[in-house]
Structure 1
Amino acid sequence: MSVKIKLNKKILIKGEIETLSGLLIGGSNTAMAIGGPDKMVIRNPITNEPYIPGSTLKGKMRSLMEISRGFIKEVRMGNVKYGPSDDPNHITTVLFGSASTDQNQRPSRIIFRDGRLINGDDFRDKTDLPFTESKTEVVIDRITSAAMPRTFERVPAGAKFELDIVLNIFEGDNNTEEELLNLTLRGLQMLQDDYIGGSGSRGSGRVKFRIHSIKERPVDYYHSGNTDAEKKRNDEIPEDLR
């Protein structure tokens, strides 16, 4: 049986992500120097600037939304025991999709672009590492009080990255575009009150989202080049995401 999926429109959400505390999103340690940090941040291999992977934002936002609804499934994926359910009727599966190989497979309606650093010049030569800082934490032996220090590389507070999200709306969706857009915005609010990256319970990863614009482009925009079909929806931006 063939399945017909037809795109109706795309909703584009653009803005910025500001780090309110140091951001630790791990990358490769293959070039780690002796005496350097134990964990390095992920960087663009061309510019050497740190960036926020779209997978980090999407994965953490989906996790928070599923936990808030108690929608967790026992799965087996390497060391991961609890993960997302593939129930096609659940709203998070509708939004984020499902990679299930059976009839429950659904395409993702939401796309998160990698967020590039946009204000690197503000602190290019002001940190102990290129665009980043080193932060040392100490593990204390509960009996002898012996200390075991470990050092992490973090993007400093005040760094700003691009926020670029695309929400696809398909014809025949059981959920309206207003529901899906509202779900996306509420997910960003929840993520803003949590953290991204590592060491979030120890102060890292607090961010502020600022949405600059929301606009929709129907398929006619792409088929005929009719730019008049584009519609701004900035009045739907919540106050705490401005």
Structure 2
Amino acid sequence: MKLIKKIIISGEIEAKTGLMIGGSNTAMGIGGPDRTVIRNPVTKQPYIPGSSLKGKMRSLLELSYGNIGSKKMGKVENGPSEDPTHASTNLFGSARTDGFQRPSRIICRDGFLLNPDDLKNTDLPFTEAKTEVVIDRITSAAMPRSFERVPAGAKFGLNIVINIFDEDQFKDQLQTLAFKALQLVQDDYLGGSGSRGSGQVKFTITKVTERPNSFYHGDGGESDLMSSVPEDLK
């Protein structure tokens, strides 16, 4: 197996509505939100974990093709596809132990906050507290609950790397599949409570660079692939 090239996708993720990717509640005091967002432990700024973006990209891409796996993972009955003939498995990898194990070809890095100065006047540091109310259908009694969200307008870095090897079955399609997965997330939601208004995001890709194997050996240059980006991701 030999690396052919790396494709590096850069840009930003903008929260169009409040974004709620959960973290630990251990630091919250009495009267704080019932659920909190994940934060950088050093800067205390919220961020988007690469695992959250990658997992959502994979699940939506598999749903779009109808490629749902049957492997049970904890409480999840219908997990990721592990069929080596599926395009999504070739991009995101497989944990099979019967000879078809495949490392992921895509790297989704954590997205850190780009515009912290725009979030200075929020309810909580860089975030907002959103209150929802559960209504008893018979007695009309209300039970309020509070959630922490990153407010609309927050922007995070987007950095994705696709590794393409000579033995890859879908080597000419992996970049297109990654774009398709981002389009699906953009028309769905990221994080929690998406059906209740949270998690709408907009991806803006500003740079796509192809670096062949020779680039890393000092024998070749890199190429600009921005012309391959779909219009709704620009």
1:172 deviates by: 2.9
User: 199, 211, 231: which one pairs with 2:223?
Assistant: 231
What does residue 150 of structure 1 align with? 145
Deviates most, 41-50 or 214-223: 214-223
Retained in 1: the 8 A contact 2:90–2:169?
no
Where structure 2 has 5 or more consecutive residues not aligned to the other structure, the ranges are none
Deviations 1:60-111 (A, max 9, x none): 1100111111111222221111101211111000000001122110111100
Deviations 1:109-136 (A, max 9, x none): 1000000000011122x10100000000
Structure 2 counterparts to residues 20-59 of structure 1, below 5 A? 20-59=16-55
What does residue 219 of structure 1 align with? 213
Q: Sequence identity, in percent? A: 65
Whether 1:139 and 2:134 are equivalent positions in the alignment is yes
Deviates most, 65-74 or 109-118: 65-74
Three-state SS of the structure 2 residue aligned to 1:152 is: strand
1:163 deviates by: 0.3
Deviations 1:184-222 (A, max 9, x none): 111111110000000000000000000001110011111
Scaled by the length of structure 2, the TM-score of the pair is 0.98
Distance of 1:166 and 1:39 partners within structure 2:
31
Distance of 2:55 and 2:89 partners within structure 1:
12
Structure 2 counterparts to residues 90-101 of structure 1, below 5 A? 90-101=86-97
Distance of 1:18 and 1:213 partners within structure 2:
16
Retained in 1: the 8 A contact 2:67–2:81?
yes
What does residue 5 of structure 2 align with? 9
Distance of 2:182 and 2:30 partners within structure 1:
39
Deviations 1:135-184 (A, max 9, x none): 0000000000000000000000000000000011101322233x111111
Scaled by the length of structure 1, the TM-score of the pair is 0.94
Distance of 1:9 and 1:161 partners within structure 2:
26
Where structure 1 has 5 or more consecutive residues not aligned to the other structure, the ranges are none
Three-state SS of the structure 1 residue aligned to 2:117 is: helix
Number of aligned residue pairs: give it: 234
Three-state SS of the structure 2 residue aligned to 1:9 is: strand
Letter in 1 for 2:222: E
Question: Deviating runs (4+, > 3 A) in structure 1?
Answer: none
Distance of 2:45 and 2:169 partners within structure 1:
42
User: 207, 226, 239: which one pairs with 2:201?
Assistant: 207
Distance of 1:196 and 1:138 partners within structure 2:
22
Three-state SS of the structure 2 residue aligned to 1:222 is: helix
Deviates most, 81-90 or 68-77: 68-77
Distance of 1:76 and 1:44 partners within structure 2:
32
